[in-house]
């Protein structure tokens, strides 16, 4: 049997469950999962090796309806990039969704990739609704329409087998022991940012960036120094909280997740700094990795 290898992009609207599905397929918690919209900001590759196949999954930002700053432009660019180089596209549809977003419909139509429509969250509907939605999506003539639940793991194995069947014959793109294209510092940033999404509301989670300034891996201890970047002094005050309690809670929860992720004890020092309007300034976006993906 010939070896198959290729790139699989998971796309969809915010809160469709893309990161949950991505983590299920990859078998590791590489993407931040949070009920807040626009959790994913970057394209993240996750590499899965099977006996006769290598699957390179891309988690992508949600398809934002309104681009309001240069960071959003990057997020849209990451999605479009994933459309262009994919061998298989998974469009993850929410219950009740009936058509591809206008922003990508034409581009998908011109894509060389095989298209899978994955109907997520089927546990929220009944059999009649699911059958009607499958019939609706089949009108697009995709390679397949598959009902599933990323949260509960329903039909994940069937989805993977379908993906493999659509991959081209090609040698592996990455070494067998490589899990992702991202660095350890990137996942430190994402884990801390995930806690900010959990513990803060309103504009705070969307106005911050996390940057790991120092990552020292000793034998039994990781020493990590990170900065939370916000846009205004008022946001800094909220992030720190009265007597530093809010920041301490965030850092403690992040440290616990970092210890689980890296499998060793972690010393984590987190500071908050203000960089005014960083989401619209090219110099900061480059520094924070948004224009070099």
DSSP state of 278: G
On the CB side of 112, CA atoms within 13 Å amount to: 8
pLDDT at 241 (0 to 100): 97
Q: Are residues 23 and 148 in the same domain?
A: yes
Q: Are residues 42 and 73 in the same domain?
A: yes
CATH number of the structural domain spanning residue 52: 3.40.50.300
Q: Are residues 31 and 87 in the same domain?
A: yes
Q: Are residues 124 and 206 in the same domain?
A: no
For residue 159, tell me if it sits in a domain: yes
| Residues 6 or more apart in contact with residue 256 via CB below 8 angstroms | none
R_g of the chain computed on alpha carbons: 20
Tell me the C-alpha distance between 99 and 268, whole Å.
45
pLDDT digit string, tens, across residues 210-241: 999 999 999 889 999 999 999 999 999 999 99
* pLDDT exceeds 70 at position 291: no
Q: Are residues 155 and 226 in the same domain?
A: no
For residue 7, what pLDDT band results from cuts at 50, 70 and 90?
very high
Q: Are residues 203 and 138 in the same domain?
A: no
pLDDT at 65 (0 to 100): 67
Q: Are residues 152 and 192 in the same domain?
A: no
Tell me the C-alpha distance between 21 and 151, whole Å.
7
* pLDDT exceeds 50 at position 293: no
For residue 18, tell me if it sits in a domain: yes
Q: Are residues 9 and 148 in the same domain?
A: yes
For residue 125, tell me if it sits in a domain: yes
pLDDT digit string, tens, across residues 119-155: 999 888 788 889 999 999 999 999 999 999 999 999 9
Q: Are residues 24 and 127 in the same domain?
A: yes
Average pLDDT, the chain: 92
Q: Is the pTM of this model over 0.85?
A: yes
More confident residue, 68 or 53: 53
Tell me the C-alpha distance between 6 and 164, whole Å.
9
Mean per-residue pLDDT for 28-33? 84
Q: How many domains does the chain have?
A: 2
Q: Are residues 135 and 212 in the same domain?
A: no
Q: Are residues 131 and 245 in the same domain?
A: no
Between CA 135 and CA 138, with CA 97 as vertex, the angle to 5 degrees is: 25
Percentage of the residues of the chain whose pLDDT score is greater than 70: 97
Of 104, 137, 166, the position where a domain reaches its end is 166
- The parent domain of residue 218 ranges over 184-287
């Amino acid at each position: 049997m010939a070896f198959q290898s290729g790139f699989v992009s998971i796309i969809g609207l915010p809160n469709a469950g893309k990161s949950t599905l991505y983590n299920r397929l990859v078998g590791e918690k590489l993407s931040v999962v949070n009920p807040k919209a626009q959790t994913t900001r970057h394209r993240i590759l996750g590499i899965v090796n099977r006996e006769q196949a290598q699957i390179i999954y891309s988690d992508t930002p949600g398809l934002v309806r309104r681009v309001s700053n240069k960071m959003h432009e990057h997020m849209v660019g990451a999605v479009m990039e994933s459309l262009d180089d994919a061998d298989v596209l998974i469009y993850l549809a929410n219950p009740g969704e009936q058509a591809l977003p206008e922003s990508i419909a034409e581009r998908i139509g011109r894509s060389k990739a095989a298209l899978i429509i994955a109907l997520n969250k089927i546990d929220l509907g009944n059999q009649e609704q699911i059958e009607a939605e499958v019939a609706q999506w089949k009108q697009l003539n995709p390679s397949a329409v598959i009902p599933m639940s990323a949260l509960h793991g329903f039909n994940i194995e069937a989805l993977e087998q379908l993906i493999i069947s659509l991959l081209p014959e090609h040698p592996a793109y990455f070494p067998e022991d490589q899990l992702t294209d991202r660095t350890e510092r990137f996942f430190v940033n994402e884990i801390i940012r995930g806690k900010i999404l959990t513990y803060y509301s309103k504009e705070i989670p969307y106005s911050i960036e996390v940057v790991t300034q120092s990552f020292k891996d000793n034998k039994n201890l990781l020493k990590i120094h990170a900065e939370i970047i916000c846009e205004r002094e008022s946001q800094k005050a909220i992030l720190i909280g009265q007597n530093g309690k809010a920041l301490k809670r965030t850092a403690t929860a992040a440290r616990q997740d970092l210890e689980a992720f890296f499998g060793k004890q972690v010393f984590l020092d987190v500071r908050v700094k203000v960089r005014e309007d960083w989401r619209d300034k090219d110099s900061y976006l480059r520094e924070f990795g948004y224009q070099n993906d």
